Amino acid sequence: MQTPDRIRESARQGRIVLWEESARDGAQGKTLLSADFRVRLARQQGAMFGTEGPGSVVFSAGFPAVCKEEFEATRRVAMEAAGSVSAAAVCRATLEDVRQACRAVQGAPDARVMIVVPASDEIADAMVHRPAAQALEEAVSLVHAVRDSGSGLHVDVGFADAPRGDVAQMADAASRLTAEGAGTIIVADTTGDLLHPQAAELFGRLQATVSDDVVLATHLHNDLGSGLANTLEAVRAGVRVVSSSWLGVAERAGMVATEQLLFVLTHRSHSLLGTPAELWGTAPDLTRLPEITRTFSAETGLPLTVTMPIVGTGVGTISTGTPFVRPATFQPFEPSLVGVEPKVLLTHLASGRVVRTVAAQLGYELDRAETAAVLRWVKSEAFRRNEAVIPDDDLALFLRGMRAGSEAVPAAA
């Protein structure tokens, strides 16, 4: 029995749906998520949206044709994360693969199968050794195979290498596939070659050409560093299903990062769209981002770096004088929005105010002469080590030594 397609319904109501790719495309980024972790991640991601998880997140659980272990991992996500997300199995455009993908997620509520079809002649020649027009036409029978299987699964079609495809041909195929039962049509920049003006043109032309029933989705890689900008252009054009991956992990240079996309679409949608817009049925709880990204980093070995937007180790840190006095003037958002407590770090750029603040946190109240002495030591020590940050423990050791040579007593903690 076919159940309502919650993903289509959300998108057609103007709500954003996140299509999470870290378990599936992330594997092409040389990571492998265990079945246990995939289930955990899917549940965590769905929990960001409360009870609306299955209508807000498609979790691409895996590519069952890879091996029996991948099949089993995909099935575990579908069954064990049911009620948290809508799980999807991804497959090639062959009847055997489609049937296998159906078996991987059959019986799970809100589950989906996504069929990858080449949309350009270049990719079609490499993938299926025939023209894109023929591959797109053959996809209709594969959609029927899912819809007529009695599994109750929803089916989506991904257009690989869409930027090099013929827009009119893709629009016609999208309209026909939707009429035959496809839930969404995923437009993929497979090579990550788009810049944002091209993305705006591509999605604008497709939105203007497809039938009213078509729900378009994005799948945009980041090889030129434009994945986020391109995805936002698609949203501006009216697309409401957007693919991403935690920490941006995906093939080659990755794709748009989930944490960045969630933040921008939650707290900057008015700037993006020019008018107030309710893009979420239930807005994601962004304070969960640090925990999820830390666990994902630990699982994959991908580091959280100081320059990483939204969740990097530099978020909410202050180390220089003027930002310390007026932090709100020097940051684009309040760190508490993503569950981060501001922290003052001691570096070679420290001012007297910064030194006194860090020392006070360690239980020391410094006078003017002590502040000057500590400041000289911090700057000299940072250059001696060739490391910017002086750890609090090292400062505490220096302060104890400095105070040991005088009658001063550390202030109460």
Beta bridge partners of 85: 82
CB 64 within 8 A of CB 89: yes
- Regarding the domain delimited by 6-284, which CATH topology (the fold level of the hierarchy) does it fall under? TIM Barrel (3.20.20)
311 class by beta-carbon count within 10 Å (0-12 exposed, 13-18 middle, 19+ buried): buried
On the CB side of 119, CA atoms within 13 Å amount to 27
Quote the pLDDT of residue 413: 37
pLDDT for the residue numbered 407: 42
Packed helices 167-179 and 132-147: angle between N→C axes, nearest 10 degrees? 10
Tell whether the model's pLDDT for residue 406 goes beyond 70. Answer: no
State pTM to two decimals: 0.89
Q: Is the per-residue pLDDT at 114 higher than 80?
A: yes
Contact 96, 104 (CB under 8 A): no
- Give the separation between CA 409 and CA 396, rounded to whole angstroms: 13
Antiparallel, parallel or unpaired: β 86-92 and 317-318: unpaired
| Residue 209 structure tokens | 């050409």
pLDDT at 88 over 90: yes
Torsion sign, CA atoms 298, 287, 355, 405 = negative
Helices 35-47 and 68-80 sit at what angle, rounded to 10 degrees? 30
Q: Please give the structure tokens belonging to residue 348.
A: 């070679």
Q: Count Cβ atoms within 10 A of the Cβ of residue 109 and give its class: 0-12 exposed, 13-18 middle, 19 or more buried.
A: middle
Structure tokens at 257: 């990062």
Using one digit for the tens of pLDDT, what is the confidence trace for 188-210? 999 999 999 999 999 999 999 99
**Bridge partners, residue 82, by sequence:** 85
Asked whether residue 141 carries a pLDDT value surpassing 50, the answer given is yes
If you compute the radius of gyration of the chain from its CA atoms, what whole number of angstroms results?
25
Using CA atoms of 265, 224, 113, 11 in order, give the dihedral in degrees to the nearest 10.
30
Res. 131: pLDDT tops 80: yes
Label the pairing between strands 154-160 and 112-118.
Answer: parallel
Q: Are 62 and 23 in contact (CB under 8 A)?
A: yes
Nearest to 240 by CA among 89, 111, 56: 56
Bridge partners of residue 245, in order along the sequence: 257
pLDDT at 151: 84
pLDDT of residue 410: 41
**Domain boundaries defined on the chain:** 6-284, 352-404
For residue 276, name the pLDDT band (cuts at 50, 70, 90): low
Q: What is the DSSP letter of 65?
A: G
* Chain length of the chain: 413
Which DSSP category does 30 fall into? T
